[in-house]
Amino acid sequence: MTVHKGEVVGIYGLMGAGRTELAMSIFGRSYGSEITGTLLINGKEMILKNPREAINAHLAYVTEDRKGNGLVLSNPIRVNTSLANMNGVSKNGVIDVDKEYQVAVEYKEKLRTKTPSVEQNVGNLSGGNQQKVLLAKWMFTDPDILILDEPTRGIDVGAKYEIYCIINDLVKAGKSVIMISSELPEVIGMSDRIYIMNEGKFVGEMKAEDATQENIMACILQSGRGEEA
């Protein structure tokens, strides 16, 4: 798989195709134990042994499970925003609460998170606004590559549009976005190129102009038939 700067690369596959497992394997081997393969960033081989090393290499993984793995629902927006980059709001191991507050307010305004205050507990927000806090958490790490796993799952149409706008702004700024989604129209509409997965393997790659629901599903079906034969 190749991802360029300023590009949205979609990954599509049916349930159980291995999309999340692939993403987590890239993100500091946070899935699986016997992982093989080579990861190149800017042409340089990277061996990332854990998520902290992945973050330091300017990779970010926005989990599909925002309530279970992405956010601490009982903590305020302020705390959640800085979770992945504590060094950005601390000195000598001591958190600067004023700086943390300032950062949270900055991202609240940038992403238009609807909340009366960044001291609001994340669990009190709507799904769409929780997703914005999760994005803010990872944007604060200043990643070059963002892996977005089901970024619009369980949120309303208005919030989806706002998330799409955020993704477009990220690629305009030169970031690389890998977008995993179970919604085929979403993948087709947002991606510059699409990789298709089936049973843990890439079975096809399509440019945006060639990607239709029929072509993608045909690719998955043909790969399945090929294995049976």
**Is there a single domain that holds both residue 182 and residue 213?**
yes
3-class DSSP assignment, residue 31: coil
Confidence of residue 228 (pLDDT cuts 50, 70, 90): very low
- Which pTM was predicted? 0.91
pLDDT category at 227 given cuts 50, 70, 90 is: very low
Residues 6+ apart with CB under 8 A from 224: 198, 199
Structural domain boundaries, residue 137: 72-142
**Under a CB-based contact definition with an 8 Å cutoff, are residues 119 and 78 in contact?**
yes
Residue 63 lies in a domain: no
In a domain, 11, yes or no: yes
What CATH number should be reported for the domain holding residue 25? Answer: 3.40.50.300
**Residue 65, domain member (yes or no):** no
In angstroms, rounded to a whole number, what is the distance separating the alpha carbons of residues 228 and 183?
Answer: 27
Q: Is the pLDDT of residue 98 over 60?
A: yes
64 within domain boundaries = no
Residues 6+ apart with CB under 8 A from 99: 88, 89
Structural domain tally of the chain? 2
pLDDT digits (tens, 9 = 90+) for 107-149: 999 999 999 999 999 999 999 999 999 999 999 999 999 999 9
Domain match, 38 and 102 both = no
Residues 14 and 76 in one domain: no
Return all residues near 190 (Cβ < 8 A) that are at least 6 apart: 8, 10, 164, 167, 179, 181
Residues 229, 149 within the same domain: yes
Q: How confident is the model at residue 150 (pLDDT cuts 50, 70, 90)?
A: very high
Whether 89 and 113 map to the same domain: the answer is yes
Mean pLDDT score across all residues of the chain: 92
Residues 149, 227, single domain; the answer is yes
Q: Do 149 and 224 share a domain, yes or no?
A: yes
pLDDT score at 193: 96
Residue 195 three-state SS: strand
Task: Give the residue-averaged pLDDT of 160-182.
Answer: 95
